[in-house]
Structure formats: structure tokens, C-alpha cells
Amino acid sequence: MAGPTTTAVQPTVTTSSTSSTTSSSSTTTEVATTTTATNTTESPVSVDTGDIEGFGLVEVQLADESLLLAVADTAELRGQGLMFVEDFGDLDGMVFVFEDDVTNRFWMRNTFVSLDIAFFSAEGTLVDLFEMTPCLTPTCPRYQAAGVYRYAIERPAGTMVGAMTSAAVLDVASLEDL
């Protein structure tokens, strides 16, 4: 039985993919924290990434909350998303990053947990917000934002819907160079 996978990453930078394990244990990623004001680096800390494997990590600011998210910034990673994930570990969710503004629809095919999804413009303003329910059949509902967006964040249900106002802003600075 293989042990957890460990990779060193910076909280605000996408990293190389972690390799998959064949065990049912969670993946662990090390995050090296950096304080830019004093330009010092602390020792890496372990982050349990649960069932979410093969994604880089980024730390973002959403409204008044700091989130540690898996990054889906390629067509392949966006297509995989949170399918088959039951355990988020220490992660707050996943951010889907697009190079240009899009109107793509999301679905919950093979997704085991209810999720909230928030769509944000290139400037970080909230475009739309939904609660999505799991779908294990071939025909699943599609969720489409009311307008174009550049970023979408998925988190466990109840963490954004009902808890976030239309004035919520995503600080996109850490996402622009991914």
C-alpha cells in the first residue's frame, strides 16, 4: 500500500502535479509559507489534500476569507474537477481558471458531494452563484452563470450560497499569473 504523496508548493503559485496513490489514504502536500514584507521563508507545513490529487494549490482572498484551493487551469484539469472527491482534506475547494472570459456551463456528473459554485469576472466581481447537487446519471443538470466569467470557485454546499453577498469580491492577483 503506497503512502501519501508529498509535493512542495507556494500558497500563491501553481505547482507540479502530485502523483496518484493507490491507497485510500489522503494526499499530503507541503506548503512553504513566505512572508514577502520581511522576505523570509518558513519551514514547509503539511496540507492534507484529501481525495484531490494532481492539482496545484493557490491561496486566494475571497471577501474577508482566505482560501486554500486546488487549481484547475487546463482543459484536462477543469474536466476532472471535483469528480469522485469525497474528502477535501484541509482544502477549501477548487478554483477553475480560464485564460479568457467564458460562458461555459458546469455539471455535477460523478460528483459525490453537494457544492456551491461562484462565478467571478476577470476583475473579481461576483457574476453568479448556485448550489449544485450530486449527479450520478448520464443526464445531469447544467449550471450556467448569468454572464461571462473568468474564474469559478467550487466549495462544499453552504459555504458560499447564503453566506456571501453580491458585493463579495475575489482578489484575482494570485490567479492572474497561473
The pLDDT, as a whole number, for residue 100 is: 97
pLDDT band at 111 (very low <50, low <70, confident <90, very high): very high
pLDDT band at 21 (very low <50, low <70, confident <90, very high): very low
Q: What distance in Å separates the CA atoms of residue 54 and residue 58, rounded to the nearest whole number?
A: 13
Please report, rounded to a whole number, the percentage of residues in the chain having pLDDT higher than 70.
75
Please report, rounded to a whole number, the percentage of residues in the chain having pLDDT higher than 90.
68
39-54 burial: b if 16+ Cβ within 10 Å, else e: eeeeebeebbbbbbbb
Parse the chain into domains and list their residue ranges: 8-174
Record the pTM.
0.77
The whole-chain average pLDDT of the chain stands at 81
pLDDT at 44 over 70: no
Which residue has better confidence, 27 or 127?
Answer: 127
The pLDDT, as a whole number, for residue 26 is: 44
Task: Say which DSSP state 110 is in.
Answer: T
pLDDT band at 46 (very low <50, low <70, confident <90, very high): confident
Name beta bridge partners: 29: 47
Q: What distance in Å separates the CA atoms of residue 104 and residue 167, rounded to the nearest whole number?
A: 23
CATH architecture of 8-174: Sandwich (2.60)
The pLDDT, as a whole number, for residue 79 is: 96
Chain segment 112-170, per-residue pLDDT in tens? 999 999 999 999 999 999 999 999 898 999 999 999 999 999 999 999 998 999 999 99
